[in-house]
A and B are shown apart, each in its own frame.
Chain A
Amino acid sequence: MKARALPGYLYDTLTRLFPHRTRTGLRAVGTPGPDAPVLVTGNYTLTVRRLTEHLAGFDCWLLVADSRGINVWCAAGGGHLTHHDVIAAIRTSGVAERVRHREVVLPQLGATGIERRAITEATGWATRWGPARLEDLPAFLARGSRIVKRWRFMRFPAWERFEMAAVWALPMTLVAGPVFGILGGRRVLAATLLQVWIVVPGLFLTVPHWPVRGRGRWVVFAGAAAAGFGLAWGVLALLGGVSGGHLILAAVASVAAVGVLAVDFAGTTPWYPSYVNSFRNTPAITLSEDRCTGAAECVQVCPRDVLAMEGRRRKVRVARPDDCIACGACIVQCPEDALHFRYPDGRVVEAATIRSTRLNMMGRRTVHVGPGGPAR
């Protein structure tokens, strides 16, 4: 990375929880010719920045679709990046005049919203899924745009966990700093900020070792809040500022910091199923075997290696159900509508519903649009 790009990069990284729109349309990476591959992505500034950087040395086209300034994963899940947006990008960018071939590489994490077949039907362009993570794009391109199985799967490596920690700790600092500084003075400020910057990274760095998905997480969150409070108390003691009022402020700060994370800790990565969207009611991915024709479109998009193709039987199998994050990508892509979600309370959500509903804090996938209008 060039030093000149560093401030922008840091800004984009630290504010990555917010949408950042960058210019949509076609961009050249290197000096691409008419046969160079076309990689589709969303118009989230940080992703485009990272792509340009990781693809240094390659000649290819970036087709930046309108994902409303949101990263591909969240945009596709939330209905902000669909095949309609990819079709619009192909049509409005002039890419057809720049390349001789008619194929785009789609970001695999967009599979919850982008229906491949619709793109080909509308534009005649062929599509293929690229790797789930952009770090693997150089190797993917070096192999002539052919995928290797392990590039389909998400990871949540330590550097990324650290980055997420910083991304959460920073806004907490910006909010907590003035509030606790004004209410409690310098010593309380020091204690609460130190607490935030130890407890938040602590949770992210240790997450592979505690039960993110189970009820046990409440013990961990409670423990983290208690540890944060203990830490703040220690700092106050060192600075000679222990008083009833200060301790109450420290307690509020530590509960607030952990509380904010607890809302959707799992949703910070496609590695876990988001709490907000599944709540306690986590669906099981279910296959109607009689409908399965072994197209294996689902296997190509599952970011958690849940599904496996049984070559001899020409059927897909839900091989590792416990790893499923309920993203729905497999359901959206299945040409036979053979996959669906089954909730513990017996409700079944079919492919048509998954395709037409979007996930965010207000629209959940369990909405039911039926005769007489939608109901909840």
Chain B
Amino acid sequence: MSSFVYMKVLESAPWRYDRGIRWLSGGHIEALWQRLAERAAGPGRRVLDIGCGTGGVALACAALGADVVGIDMNAEMLAVARSKTVAADAGGKVEWVELGAAEIEDRFAEACFDAVVSSLALSEMSPEGRRYALRVAWSRLRPGGLLVVADEVRPTDAAARLWQRTRRAPLVALTWLLTQTSTQVLDDLAGLVREAGFTQVRETRPWSSDLAIVEGVRPAEETS
């Protein structure tokens, strides 16, 4: 899998995002969106997609019949998402809202979602922002609700880490030239999810050692 830094370039030219991210992910992006949706969505389930971007995960959830809210703070990315249509037969729907992760509490009541998903967005936040987002996700989930997040992570073995660094370097430089920014690789995504209060935390890396999917459950019984 190629590195995801370059997606910053894609975000600054959102109409190219989908084509670009498909290429960057070695063609796995749709499979990723689909896998997150299959875990989180289902007919009538309420799903929140944090950092929905051009809407990949949110639309995949709606296609499975879910009632989805996609939030993103980048209005241009949302404009692309809005231009897409929800598959009609499944009965799902999507609402797009320009909102930062730290503003979720302003719009949505506690315990109002069956699932929260987020793909490739946590790595773009500040460390406090990430923790806050996960805690808010926890509080907006109903007890027993499911969190499914995916992001670029540091591989566990040294050789893969070195390879990741080398591969990222030219992309980091190019991305910086075009957008003056870059994204970060997460060190311990599962740990962050646990820290936010989720239980039954599970991590999988289905395609490569640097892309992780982490799941967690808001416990049904209040333990703390």
Contacts and interface: CB of A to CB of B under 8 A. Distances in A.
B102 A92 contact: yes
B173 to A, nearest CB: 10
B128 A84 contact: no
Contacts of B193: none
Contact of B102 (A87, A360, A362, A375): A87
A363 B102 contact: no
A207 B212 CA distance: 51
Given A24-B127, A92-B129, A92-B132, A79 B74 contact: yes
B117 to A, nearest CB: 20
A355 interface: yes
Nearest to A375: B15
B80 A356 contact: no
A220 to B, nearest CB: 25
Contact of B180 (A91, A357, A360): A360
Provide the main secondary structure of the chain B interface: helix
Contacts of B129: 24, 66, 88, 92
Nearest to B106: A122
Contacts of B83: 371-374
A261 to B, nearest CB: 16
B14 interface: yes
Contacts of B125: 66, 88
A80 B15 CA distance: 18
A358 interface: yes
B30 interface: no
Contacts of B12: 78-79, 358, 360, 362-363
A362 B76 contact: no
B178 A361 contact: yes
A84 B73 contact: yes
B176 interface: yes
A361 B177 contact: yes
Interface string A59-89: 0000000101110001000111010110110
A356 to B, nearest CB: 4
B73 A82 contact: yes
B76 A373 contact: no
Contact of B9 (A70, A74, A362, A372): A362
A361 to B, nearest CB: 5
A374 B15 contact: yes
Given A68-B181, A85-B100, A363-B12, 5 more contacts: A19-B182, A357-B75, A360-B12, A360-B179, A372-B83
26 contacts: A18-B176, A19-B181, A24-B129, A68-B181, A70-B181, A78-B12, A78-B179, A78-B181, A79-B76, A87-B100, A88-B100, A88-B101, A88-B126, A88-B132, A91-B102, A92-B131, A92-B132, A122-B103, A122-B106, A355-B75, A357-B75, A358-B76, A360-B179, A363-B12, A369-B79, A374-B80
Interface of B: 9, 12-15, 73-76, 79-80, 83, 99-103, 106, 125-129, 131-132, 176-182
